[in-house]
Structure 1
Amino acid sequence: MAASSDPADQPEHEPTGDSGLLPAELRSWMRLLAAAGAIEQLLRSRVKDVMGVSHDEFLVLCLLADQPGATLRMTRIAELLGRPKTRLTYQVACLQHAGLITKNAACGDRRGIEVALTDKARRLVSESTRPLADAVSQAIAQTACAQRYTQLHDLLPVPPDPDTEGHTPEKRA
């Protein structure tokens, strides 16, 4: 019996030119999703070990930490995370119970709820996120093929130099 030439039986390779069924944009998107999925899997266990919160709760903390005022409306958090509002309500309740966030009525809209980090959460994020960021860099290196590593890695900001903390990092060369 002859060896199968079915594409599903062939080793994975990177399609070049028009040989693939997907346009380059969709192929790139699928690679990005695969890399993001691998990173998310890695972070799920590390976040719990390092910070004591679930991955989804970690995402809420990161969104709040990255805001200029460190406050967001719950509806905006749900939109940014692509999560149902009911699921977010549970996560916010867990974070509030842990003393990591506060909830207040939105100014000028009594129906809206704004969420903010507590000082305890600021310390936790400040102390815990560098090892997690390093894990993201390692995961990118492991999931991206060699020629794509630099392109994916360039999406990440340059970590601040401890000697120049507070200064704007320069773009990677």
Structure 2
Amino acid sequence: MTASQEDPAELPQCPSVTGGGLLPGELRAWMLLLAATGAVEQRLRSVVKETLDVSHDEFLILCLLAEQPSEGLRMTRIAELLGRPKTRLTYQIACLQHAGLVTRKAVCGDKRGVEVALTDKARGLLGDASATLAETVGQAFAHVIGPEQREALCALVPKLPDGTH
């Protein structure tokens, strides 16, 4: 059985805000947030591939562009926001363009600038898949965030919902 298939009850306990370790509460909370984000990404990878037929990194690009006006974003800004090297981003954008999900155009007045925007096809696919993707994110967070982790994360995210109704 792999680590991802193990029963959550058998996994080591995540640190909490009262962990008694060397880390201050803010750093402990940050580490919990990183762990939770990693768990979400792990679950989301397969769902993204199945529903959109793109890699997780390509999905992140689509999500950035989905939140932009129709004119899109410059490639340098996308690389900056995702913390990715421009050369790797160029390859990912080319894959998305080949799939008909983004367009590229030169920026007016800047012969080196390239702007990327979603196509209608990509907007439709994201719209169709958004409920499934949002549910996956919610389930992944619910799986890794217990009461102690929630308490620790509240140090960084004070308005984190408690999941009770």
Partner residue in 2 for 1:37: 38
CA distance in 2, matches of 1:87, 1:15: 38
CA distance in 1, matches of 2:131, 2:16: 33
For residue 69 of structure 2, give the secondary structure of its aligned residue in structure 1. coil
**Structure 1 residues 155, 57: closer, same or farther in 2, change over 3 A?**
farther
Q: Which has the larger radius of gyration?
A: 1
Once the two structures are superposed, the pairs formed by residues 14-163 of structure 1 within 5 Å of their partners are: 14=16, 16=18, 19-69=20-70, 71-149=72-150
Q: Does the 8 Å contact 2:17/2:25 carry over to 1?
A: no
**Structure 1 residues 44, 107: closer, same or farther in 2, change over 3 A?**
same
Q: How big is each residue's C-alpha offset from its partner over 1:96-118, in whole Å with a ceiling of 9 and x where there is no partner?
A: 00011000001221111000011
TM-score (norm 1): 0.76
Structure 2: gaps of 5 or more residues:
1-11
**Structure 1 residues 24, 149: closer, same or farther in 2, change over 3 A?**
closer
**Structure 1 residue ranges, 4+ long, deviating more than 2 angstroms after superposition:** 11-15, 146-152
One-letter code aligned to 1:43:
L
Q: Does the 8 Å contact 1:103/1:114 carry over to 2?
A: yes
CA distance in 1, matches of 2:71, 2:131: 19
Question: What is the total number of aligned residue pairs between the two structures?
Answer: 146
**Structure 1 residues 40, 149: closer, same or farther in 2, change over 3 A?**
same
TM-score (norm 2): 0.80
Q: Does the 8 Å contact 1:140/1:149 carry over to 2?
A: no
**How many percent of aligned residue pairs carry the same amino acid?**
63
Two-structure CA RMSD over aligned residues (Å): 2.4
For residue 112 of structure 1, give the secondary structure of its aligned residue in structure 2. strand
Q: CA deviation at 1:16?
A: 1.7
One-letter code aligned to 1:140:
F
Q: CA deviation at 1:20?
A: 2.0
For residue 54 of structure 2, give the secondary structure of its aligned residue in structure 1. coil
CA distance in 1, matches of 2:148, 2:104: 45
Tell which has more relative contact order, 1 or 2 (C-alpha 8 A, sep 6+).
Answer: 2
CA distance in 2, matches of 1:98, 1:84: 22
For residue 99 of structure 1, give the secondary structure of its aligned residue in structure 2. coil
Q: CA deviation at 1:68?
A: 3.0
For residue 18 of structure 2, give the secondary structure of its aligned residue in structure 1. coil
Partner residue in 1 for 2:3: none
**Structure 1 residues 142, 58: closer, same or farther in 2, change over 3 A?**
same
Structure 1: gaps of 5 or more residues:
1-10, 157-172
For residue 100 of structure 2, give the secondary structure of its aligned residue in structure 1. coil
